[in-house]
Structure 1
Amino acid sequence: MTENTARPGRRNTARLDHIVLWVRDPVAAAGFYEKAVGLEPVRLDEFSAGEVPFPSVRVNEETILDLMPPAMAERMTMLPGAAEASGHPVNHVCLSLPADDFAALRDRLGEQSVPMTDLSHDSFGARGPARRSFYFRDPDGNVFEARHYD
């Protein structure tokens, strides 16, 4: 088995549903993801009205990023030790985009004065080597990589 192929005879049906990001101000974070990254807010009005505990932003039809305030860490009791693990950072989250959307994201981040790394080429990911990629941080310090394969 090579690094970029699935096990023969095994079909992977898993999909990424959501990632929880710890953010100081969920409304401001949603604004960043909408304006700079181009992601659609989900449940933002309901969060602002106090009806839901956190908002999200939509990555695609199957995946969202939950924008969780740190005060929610104490409610993470779904299994032993979960509360103590809540709020620990993730190294980075990678967004895979078509080439045109990749360029548009880089332009939007530049318009918002978001610092970005230089472009990298051929970094390995879920679909093999990516043609180009770069990194940026959200206002809460979460690190994102953007890449395209085509």
Structure 2
Amino acid sequence: MTNNSIRLDHVVLWVADPVAAAGFYQEAVGLEPVRVTEFAEGKAAFPSVRVNEETLLDLAPLAFAERMTMLTGAADRAGHPVNHLCLSLSADAFDALRTRLEERGVPMSDIGHDSFGARGNAPRSFYFHDPDGNVLEARHYTD
């Protein structure tokens, strides 16, 4: 592994309803909501969900896209989705996530095998999307 001090701090996802999105990520995916009450009260610009102690998914309202003026051309690119983001879980958490998504009727891909990622080949992975169409991959590695 590369010994690098750079860490992924956050990924911003564009969502139609940040509170509903936070609910999906909490209930279906199992991530901890952050600043949802503050957002609902108008005290925070957007809520987030915590992936781990170092990484958040920020749930930005689509209306923010026009406010992306911090860099020339940013407003024209804001709102364009990424291909997908991948969550790495333990094998048990992987199975539990798939069960929660099935219980909620969330469409999922079949389970794939031996897909390459940051920690080598993952024995199992699958894809699903959130209510706003953001595509996520779930995987686990053999530890």
Task: State the TM-score bracket (shorter-chain normalisation).
Answer: over 0.9
Query: What is the CA-CA distance between 1:79 and the residue it aligns to?
Result: 1.3
Q: Does 1:89 align with 2:81?
A: yes
Q: Does 1:17 align with 2:19?
A: no
Structure 2 letter corresponding to 1:95? L
Shift of 1:78: 1.6
After superposition, give the CA deviation of every residue in 1:66-110 in whole Å (9 maximum; x if it has no partner): 000111112212211111110001100000001111111111111
Q: Counterpart of 2:41?
A: 49
Note the residue ranges of structure 2 that are not aligned, 5 or more in a row.
Answer: none
C-alpha separation between the residues in 2 aligned to 1:55 and 1:140? 15
Query: Normalising to structure 1: TM-score of the pair?
Result: 0.92
Alpha-carbon deviation of 1:120? Answer: 0.5
> Which digits, 9 at most, give the CA deviation of each residue in 1:1-34, with x for residues without a partner?
xxxx54xxxx311111000000001011011001
TM-score normalised by the chain length of structure 2? 0.96
Distance (whole Å) between structure 1 residues aligned to residue 6 and residue 92 of structure 2 = 27
Select the structure that is richer in strand: 2
Aligned partners of 2:23 and 2:16: how far apart in 1?
A: 13
1:103 alignment partner, one of 95, 108, 116: 95
Correspondence 1:145 to 2:137: yes
1:47-86 counterparts in 2 under 5 A?
47-86=39-78
2:20 alignment partner, SS class: helix
- Structure 2 equivalent of residue 39 of structure 1: 31
Show CA shifts across 1:31-50 (max 9, x none).
Answer: 10011000111000000001
Cα RMSD between the aligned structures? Answer: 0.9
Partner Cα distance (2:135, 2:10) in 1? 16
Structure-2 separation of matches of 1:118 and 1:147: 12
Q: SS at the partner of 1:27?
A: helix
Q: Number of residues paired by the alignment?
A: 142
Structure 1 residue ranges (4+ consecutive) displaced by more than 2 angstroms after TM superposition: none
Give the CA deviation at 1:131: 0.9
For the residues of structure 2 that align with 1:131 and 1:100, how far apart are their CA atoms?
Answer: 13
Tell me if 1:132 matches 2:116.
no
